[in-house]
Amino acid sequence: MFAFLVRRLGQAVIVMLVISILSFSIQDELGDPLRELVGQSVSEAVRNELREEMGLNDPFLVQYWRFLRNAVQGDLGTSYFFKRPALEVIMDKLPATIDLVVAATFWILAFSIPVGVFAAIRPNHLFSKLAMGFSIVGISVPVFLTAIFLIYLFAVELGWLPSYGRGDTLIMFGDWETSLMTIDGLTHLLLPSISLASVILPLFVRIIRSEMMEVLESEYVKFAWAKGLKKRRIWMLHAFKNTLLPVITVGGVQLGIMVSYTILTETVFQWPGMGFMFLEAINRVDTPLIVAYLIVVGLIFVITNTVVDIIYGLVNPTVKLTGQQ
Partner 1 sequence: MTSSTFETRSDLWQRIKSSLVYHSFTHNRTAMASAAVLLIFMLAAVTAPLIAPYDPWDQTQFDIMDSEIPPVGSEGADDRFVLGTDAMGRDMLSTMLYGTGISIAIGIFATILQCLIGVSIGLVAGYFGGRLDSFLMRFADIQLSFTTLMVAIIIIAVFQATAGLKFYNDFAIIVIVLVIGIAEWPQYARTVRACVLAEKKKEYVDAARVIGLKPMTIVYRHILPNTFSPLLVISTVQAANAIITEAALSFLGLGMPITKPSLGSLIRNGFEFIFSGSWWITAFPALILIVLILAINLLGDWLRDVLNPKLYDK
Residues forming the site for partner 1 (CB under 8 A):
11, 15, 18-19, 26, 29-31, 136-137, 139-145, 148-149, 151-152, 156, 210, 214, 246, 253, 256-257, 259-261, 263-264, 267-268, 278-279, 282-283, 285, 290, 294, 297-298, 301-302, 305
Distance CA 272, CA 166 (A): 7
Query: Residue 45 CB, nearest distance to partner 1 (Å)?
Result: 26
Report in angstroms how near the CB of residue 261 gets to partner 1 at its nearest. Answer: 7
Nearer to partner 1, 14 or 54 (CB): 14
234 vs 259, beta carbon nearer partner 1: 259
CB closer to partner 1 out of 141 and 190:
141
For partner 1, the closer CB: 180 or 245: 245
What are residue 39's phi and psi, to 5 degrees? 80, -170
Which CA distances in Å does 43 have to 32, 47, 50, 157, 284? 15, 6, 11, 57, 25
The least distance separating partner 1 from the CB of residue 11, rounded to whole angstroms, comes to 8
CA distances from 182 to 170, 186, 303 (A): 7, 6, 30
Q: Please state the closest distance from residue 30 (CB atom) to partner 1, in A.
A: 5
When the beta carbons of 235 and 301 are compared against partner 1, the nearer one is 301
Taking the complex as a whole, the smallest distance from the CB of residue 252 to partner 1 amounts, in Å, to 10
